[in-house]
Amino acid sequence: MSINNFSKVVIVAKDEWRYWLRSKLAMTVLAIGLLLTLSSVVVTAITMLELSHDRHELQSNAEQSFVDQPDRHPHRMVHYGHYAFRTPSPLSTLDPGIDAYTGNSIFLEGHRQNSAMFADQRQGTALTKLGSLTPAFIVQTLAPLLLILIGYSSISRERESQTLSYLLAQGTSGITLITGKGLALLSVVGLVIAPLAISALFTVSAGESLLAVASFVVGYALYLTVWVLLILLASSVFSKNSGSFTALAFVWILLCIVMPRVASTSASTAVPSAGKIETDFAVKAELRKLGDGHNTNDPAFKQFKQSLLKKYNVNSIDELPVNFRGLVASESEAKQANVLNQFAELRMQSELKQTQVSRYFGWVSPMVAIRSLSMIVVGTSIETHHRFLRETEQLRFDFVQGLNKIHIEELDYKDDMNRNANAAATKKARVSAQNWQILQDFNFNVDSADVRAQRSVPAFLQLLLWIVVLVGGIKFLGKRLL
């Protein structure tokens, strides 16, 4: 673009701003957009910081509560259990993603894999289930609507007031006029995402990667650029403001309201998954085949018993140098964990396939693309949730097997078998509270910025394709603008 054309573009953009400054509607919309973005950034940041502090404190309290337990039978501590909490990532102050639906803590105990608990949306009222006013929601859903209200008449207004032909006759090409209008709208985009960008930069001081912050801001800038181009295209096509506004309102409803729901519905239809009740029955049926780890006489452990007698070269379990009940508990826990992990992996693979199907809709809806990109870059996507589940399961297994090891090595088998004879026998079948120092420090961190950036590449490509196609359409129309 020559310097002369660039100066014309700037003049058109300035003229558009003068029109907006005279328009009460444009100023009101712009003020609402800025106010909503600012307020949601501040409120969500405070909420997430409080959550982060609370979860750190709850994690410490849970660990302290466990180690403060008195002398007990080791298996009672297996059922006493432990909690693992997921602290939010720094950037999740701007997009909580699926965290609000999946839960953020898990109760760890023997023989079971519990689901994550305390999801905000599960605990909320019916109104909160409609969605929170997060910065991501504001920019993804409301910002395009505000841009439409400001810019729907950018070109059609000139045509309707019959000033378009004068502008073109004075040497201003259609491309220059549209570019100038687009520059003015892009400056509005800059104002809307400025609070988001500044807030994202602050997360660097909390340990967030600069690459993740840059990906986050660039992703939203590309998304709103798509909407600017859509607005310019519609305003160039229609000769009347009413036609341009109606078309853009329909496109907004289609892309921001309908398509995300079509994507999730299509995903669940394309990749059907078993319901919770059906899965629970299947899991219990498989676990039943493994025998009862609390019963050393269960036939399921007959072969295990024979292998132990052979290994230690003894004739009865009373002669074993270790506690047979603890060994059975450990063997049972290992087999149960294997079955539970198989079902958990199947469920996670199903959820991941559904998510991938849903993300394909980013090619036809920029809203789906930015939503996927945002959650991936921020670290609140389904992949991060699955890693949290896997890490907590490993934590659960290690902690339960650690207690079973104490059961095997620290508690005499005869004392263990006589534990219910009387109060003295019960007291004798306990181990020292010093053994409870087995918990590992649990501190969950999101994936590295490189991994998140790599996962977000398809979403970036989807947004870039939208921009390329729309720029091509605008260039075509710009040469024929009249």
Q: What is the pLDDT along the chain (482 residues), one digit of tens a residue?
A: 666 777 888 998 998 899 888 888 778 888 888 888 888 878 777 777 777 777 777 888 888 888 888 888 888 888 888 888 887 788 887 888 877 777 778 888 888 887 766 555 554 444 444 456 788 888 999 999 999 999 998 888 888 888 888 888 877 788 889 999 999 999 999 988 888 888 888 888 878 889 999 999 999 999 999 999 999 999 999 888 899 999 999 999 999 999 999 999 999 898 888 777 888 888 888 888 888 888 888 888 888 888 888 888 888 888 888 888 889 889 988 998 999 899 889 889 999 999 999 999 999 999 999 999 999 999 888 998 899 889 988 988 988 899 999 989 888 888 888 888 888 888 888 888 888 887 777 778 888 889 999 999 999 999 999 999 999 999 888 777 66
Residue 475 CB coordination number (10 Å): 12
Which residues have CB under 8 Å from 380's CB, separation 6+? 88, 89, 92, 95, 96, 97, 98, 99
Q: Which residues pair with 105 in a beta bridge?
A: 85, 117
Give residue 448's identity as a one-letter amino acid code. S
Contacts of 71 by beta carbon, 8 Å cutoff, 6+ apart: 430, 431, 432, 433
Rounded CA gap, 446 and 449, in Å?
A: 9
The reported pTM is 0.84
Place of tokens 């919309």: 29
Sheet holding 112-113, edge to edge: 82-85, 105-109, 112-113
Which residue has tokens 């000139």? 158
